[in-house]
Amino acid sequence: MLDLTYEAPKPKVIAGAKHDWELVIGMEIHAQVSSNAKLFSGASTTFGAEPNSNVSFVDCAMPGMLPVINEFCVAQAVRTGLGLKAQINLVSAFDRKNYFYPDLPQGYQISQLYHPIVGEGEVLVELAPGIARLVRIERIHLEQDAGKSIHDMDPNLSFVDFNRTGVALMEIVSRPDIRGPEEAAAYVAKLRQILRYLGTCDGNMQNGNLRADVNVSVCRPGQYEKYQETQDFSHLGTRCEIKNMNSMRFIQQAIDYEARRQIAILEDGGKVVQETRLYDPDKGETRSMRSKEEAHDYRYFPDPDLLPLEIEQGWVDEIAASMPELPDAKKARFMADYGVTDYDANVLTAELDAAAYFEEVARGRDGKQAANWVINELFGRLNKQGLTIADTPVKAGQLGGVLDLIASGEISGKMAKDLFEILWTEGGDPAEVAAARGMKQVTDTGAIETAVDEIIAANPAQVEKAKANPKLAGWFVGQVIKATGGKANPAAVNQIVAQKLGL
């Protein structure tokens, strides 16, 4: 495997009216745990069900109902922790976060404030070949999602849908190691990729299955380094938290806006007020949601309905033994085993099923050629039609067959593209389709020689020019290929033309 070493990127610098400023960003990602049942009840988690159809007595907090932990969700959190090279806490505990809201039936969210299940870990966020930020993870805890309040169905009434109530979330909390909007988006993308590889969260941001709270502050150059040395936050600026964003684009826009807002305040001699803000994508600005003074007093305390969650190292080891290959390892292996470039390896490993597709095509074949075909032809065609790899009409076995026909010299690259197009629209076995369509490249040197002789004989002026300037031999090659209906093997034609012209 290749040992990939990285250099840290430069932080994003924003020039204010008076000074330069740097950004310091920490993120809390809420990732919905992929699980058929909720965190503390057996109710289904299916998205898009009829309102209030996936609701148990526990979810809607009927009197006397009690939570029982879903072991699968715990396993998913452990798997996620292992995937982020994090410490797994064999003893963790659940706490109640108390506040009133109609979509929170219990009047509290069960979460893990004091003793999270996963401790410190890390995520390597690559920004360019050889450039990556190592973002430290502070913790991951399990908690319940809330329901959905609906205010726009009736002028006087509000409605509430509890389908989402009690669905398991992992809150993944980073350290303030992210230094710019692009890094923030890249961090979310990398985390999403890892979660999808692990199968612990589907990463569907549109459905809200992956959402981000972003803490943004600004500081003068040099301050962050002081923080790093001491871990003392007083070297950093006052932060604002932008809540609940579910788009990479909005995350970047919100951070950029928020940083500039804070810089403007500071350069005016003002103070940034610690508060929770919301991003309005229509206006492209953040606005205050509640100040620190208005912040809820959540009155956290250990949930007396649940005993401390104790798991065994042996169980963690079993999960560790069943871990899939993760993106960084896969990328390094693709580069080492298939000789693909750093860039191509990133593209090929972005999604697990695409990586699997590539490997099926590349295995036992020319890896670089496989990469070119998968990225340029296949992905290009999929993108053009808005399809995902799961929908591809040309399966890996078929594309492999096309590459085999090229490798054996039976078809040319040009023919291969035509063949790919036929397979895309009509399907079929590549070798059979090629044969049926007479797509066979002529490698019979006798036939090629004849064609070359004829063209040389018919074009004496061109012959003279080519002899003077060998670059013009390409004209003869083209003529020969044209004369053979595109079936002549270009390599063979090249060689024979050169020979006959005496080049």
Partner 1 sequence: MNANELTIADARDALAKGELSAVDLTMACLTAIDAGTPLNAFVHATPEIALDQARAADARRGAGAGALNGIPLGIKDLFCTRGVASQAASNILKGFKPEYESTVTSKLFEAGAVMLGKLNMDEFAMGSSNETSCYGDAVNPWKVDDRRLTPGGSSGGSAAAVAADLCLAATGTDTGGSIRQPAAFTGIVGIKPTYGRVSRWGIVAFASSLDQAGPMTKSVRDAAILLGAMAGHDPKDSTSADIPVPDFEAALTGDIRGRKIGIPREYRMEGMPAEIEALWARGREMLADAGAEIVDISLPHTKYALPAYYVIAPAEASSNLARYDGVRYGHRARLGQGDGIVDMYEKTRAEGFGKEVQRRVMIGTYVLSAGFYDAYYNRARKVRALIKRDFDEAFAAGVDAILTPATPSSAFGLGEMADADPVAMYLNDVFTVTVNLAGLPGISVPVGLDAKGLPLGLQLIGRPWDEAGLLNHAHVLERAAGFVEKPRKWW
- Report, in Å, the least distance between residue 140 CB and partner 1: 22
Dist CA 229 CA 246 (whole Å): 33
Binder of partner 1 out of 67, 116, 121, 180 (CB under 8 A): 67
Query: Binding to partner 1 by residue 233, rule CB under 8 A?
Result: no
Q: Which residue stretch of 101-109, 333-341, 357-365, 425-433 sits at the interface with partner 1 (rule: CB under 8 A)? A: 101-109
Binder of partner 1 out of 60, 178, 389, 405 (CB under 8 A): 60
Contact indicator for 150, 159 with CB cutoff of 8 Å? yes
Residue with tokens 């492209």, as numbered in its chain: 284
Binder of partner 1 out of 20, 91, 107, 310 (CB under 8 A): 107
- Report, in Å, the least distance between residue 158 CB and partner 1: 8
- Report, in Å, the least distance between residue 88 CB and partner 1: 21
Tokens for 337?
């085993």
Query: Binding to partner 1 by residue 100, rule CB under 8 A?
Result: yes
Residues 114-173 close enough to bind partner 1 by CB under 8 A:
158, 160
Query: Binding to partner 1 by residue 113, rule CB under 8 A?
Result: no
- Of the pair 166, 400, the CB lying nearest partner 1 is at 166
Query: Binding to partner 1 by residue 306, rule CB under 8 A?
Result: yes
Binder of partner 1 out of 74, 80, 108, 241 (CB under 8 A): 108
- CB-based burial label for 143 (10 Å; 0-12, 13-18, 19+): buried
Dist CA 243 CA 217 (whole Å): 14
Instruction: List Cβ neighbours of 169 (8 Å cut-off, separation of 6 or more).
Output: 30, 31, 32, 33, 39, 142, 143, 144, 145
Q: Which residue stretch of 10-18, 103-111, 343-351, 374-382 sits at the interface with partner 1 (rule: CB under 8 A)? A: 103-111
- Of the pair 69, 319, the CB lying nearest partner 1 is at 69
* Cα of 443 vs its chain's centroid, Å: 45
- Of the pair 233, 301, the CB lying nearest partner 1 is at 301
Q: Which residue stretch of 14-22, 186-194, 302-310, 425-433 sits at the interface with partner 1 (rule: CB under 8 A)? A: 302-310
- Of the pair 57, 233, the CB lying nearest partner 1 is at 57
Which of 322, 427, 352, 379 is closest to 195 using CA atoms? 352
* Cα of 389 vs its chain's centroid, Å: 14
Contact indicator for 86, 138 with CB cutoff of 8 Å? no
Identity of the amino acid at 28? E
Residues 241-300 close enough to bind partner 1 by CB under 8 A:
297, 299-300
Q: Spell out a b/e string for 347-358, using b for 16 or more CB atoms within 10 Å of the CB, else e.
A: bbbebbebbebb
* Residue 468 neighbours by CB distance under 10 Å: 8
- Of the pair 21, 94, the CB lying nearest partner 1 is at 94
Contact indicator for 243, 213 with CB cutoff of 8 Å? yes
Query: Binding to partner 1 by residue 66, rule CB under 8 A?
Result: yes
Query: Binding to partner 1 by residue 312, rule CB under 8 A?
Result: no
Tokens for 438?
């007479």
Contact indicator for 362, 403 with CB cutoff of 8 Å? no
Binding site for partner 1 (CB under 8 A): 57, 60-69, 96, 98, 100-102, 105-108, 158, 160, 297, 299-301, 304-307
